[in-house]
């Protein structure tokens, strides 16, 4: 055979690594951590093997375990001691995230990102204040009052920054949330705190295990009136552009694996760092298949995260963070 081009030449040992286009490092990863104010014992999360809700007194040791693997950043989610229609515990000075953040930043070197949302804090489980006249038992279709919710999100972000959060990550998909949070942070003296916006967040069935973990499932209706329609691709670029205009520092796409086209689009259209959230359902399905002996877990986890980077993500939020960091060591 007279072949000029033999791509296999570069797949040999010794040269493979030199020509590889994408790398995965533990410093690309953010590990989600659940802190639960309702318990004083660690609670395993059944649909997310290896993950637990930890009580406040274990928050620091939980984060120390993450740091030991080489992962340097955590994303904190809170389960409050009580819920109400407005989600007021989300911005309480003695709230679960505020306390955890103060402890973790005082006692560890972790880079602390906080999820800024209301669904774990409202008794109806929606990501904001309901429109007038609705309550937790309504079967309404339009649900969350966008502009009223912005005020709550501002309070939450400022309370997290005051507790020492290094970065805030609004995930509620309210219009104008990034701009509102940016001006509130600046006004209160936190202009150094970056915003990682859940910029293109889809109304996804892959969040199921998380909603068990964080106890944030809506008690009625769904999130399709604020989260994006999985059918839409071009809309993602418009959504993300709005967050860029409003001052987002990092642009997140969520979920990750079923939305790699969106990750690639955002990478191509914007110069900002791009984050992707490898969500709870993406984690749960690989674990379930591995448990049956149908997939080899470490291999599929590494390949999944590499593919998210290849699509264009700079950083990845993933429940695999610690295991993958260990495997990379
Ligand atoms: C909202 C929030 C959700 C997730 C992260 N932040 C749930 C939702 O929108 O229903 C999902 C993360 C995952 O599935 O891993 N606070």
For the stretch 226-277, pLDDT in tens is 899 999 999 999 999 999 999 999 999 999 999 999 999 999 999 999 999 9
Q: Catalytic one among 83, 254, 292, 309? A: 254
User: Ligand 1, residues 119, 160, 227, 253: which to mutate, most atoms within 8 A of Cβ?
Assistant: 119
Instruction: Please give the average per-residue pLDDT across 165-184, as a whole number.
Output: 97
Contacts of 51 (CB under 8 A, 6+ apart): 32, 34, 44, 45, 213, 319
- Ordered by where they begin, the domains of the chain are 23-328 (3.20.20.70)
Residue 310 is labelled as binding a ligand: no
Which of 216, 226, 256, 320 for mutating ligand 1's site (highest number of atoms within 8 Å of CB)?
A: 216
Ligand 1 atom closest to the Cα of residue 206 is 14
Residue 201 bears catalytic tag: yes
Spatial separation of the C-alpha atoms in residues 164 and 162, rounded to whole Å: 5
Query: Would you tell me the crossing angle of helices 177-187 and 234-245 to the nearest 10 degrees?
Result: 20
Share of the chain above pLDDT 70, in %: 97
> Does the annotation place 280 within a ligand binding site?
yes
ipTM given for this complex: 0.95
Residue whose CA is closest, atom 16 of ligand 1?
117
Q: Determine whether the shortest distance from the Cβ of 121 to ligand 1 is under 6 A.
A: no
Contact 251, 274 (CB under 8 A): yes
307 carries a ligand binding annotation:
no
pLDDT at 138 over 90: no
Tell me if residue 292 is catalytic.
no
pLDDT tens digit sequence for 25-42:
999 999 999 999 999 999
Q: Reply yes or no on whether the pLDDT at 216 is more than 80.
A: no
Say whether pLDDT at 109 is over 70: yes
pLDDT at 262: 98
- For residue 197, is pLDDT > 90? yes
């Amino acid at each position: 055979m007279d072949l000029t081009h033999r791509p296999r030449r570069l797949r040999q040992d010794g040269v493979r690594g030199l020509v590889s286009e994408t790398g995965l490092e533990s410093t690309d990863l953010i590990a989600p951590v659940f802190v639960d104010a309702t318990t004083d014992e660690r609670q395993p999360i059944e649909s997310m093997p290896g993950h637990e809700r930890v009580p406040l007194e274990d928050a620091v040791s939980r984060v120390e375990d993450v740091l030991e693997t080489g992962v340097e950043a955590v994303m904190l989610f809170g389960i409050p001691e009580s819920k109400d229609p407005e989600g007021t515990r989300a911005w309480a000075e003695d709230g679960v995230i505020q306390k955890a953040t103060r402890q973790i930043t005082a006692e560890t070197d972790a880079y602390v990102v906080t999820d800024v949302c209301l669904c774990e804090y409202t008794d109806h489980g929606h990501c904001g204040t309901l429109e007038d006249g609705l309550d937790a038992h309504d079967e309404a279709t339009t649900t969350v009052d966008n502009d009223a919710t912005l005020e709550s999100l501002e309070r939450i972000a400022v309370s997290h920054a005051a507790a020492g959060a290094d970065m805030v990550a609004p995930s509620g998909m309210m219009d104008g949330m990034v701009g509102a949070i940016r001006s509130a942070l600046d006004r209160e003296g936190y202009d150094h705190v970056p915003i990682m916006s859940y910029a293109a967040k889809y109304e996804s069935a892959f969040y199921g295990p998380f909603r068990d973990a964080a106890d944030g499932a809506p008690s009625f209706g769904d999130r399709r009136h604020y989260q994006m329609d999985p059918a839409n691709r071009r809309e993602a670029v418009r959504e993300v552009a709005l967050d860029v205009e409003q001052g987002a520092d990092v642009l997140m796409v969520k979920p990750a694996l079923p939305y790699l086209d969106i990750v690639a689009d955002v990478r191509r259209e914007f110069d900002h760092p791009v984050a992707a959230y490898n969500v709870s359902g993406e984690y749960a399905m690989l674990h379930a298949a591995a448990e049956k002996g149908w997939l080899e877990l470490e291999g599929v986890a590494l390949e999944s995260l590499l593919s998210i980077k290849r699509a264009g993500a700079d950083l990845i939020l993933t429940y695999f963070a610690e295991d993958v960091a260990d495997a990379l060591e």
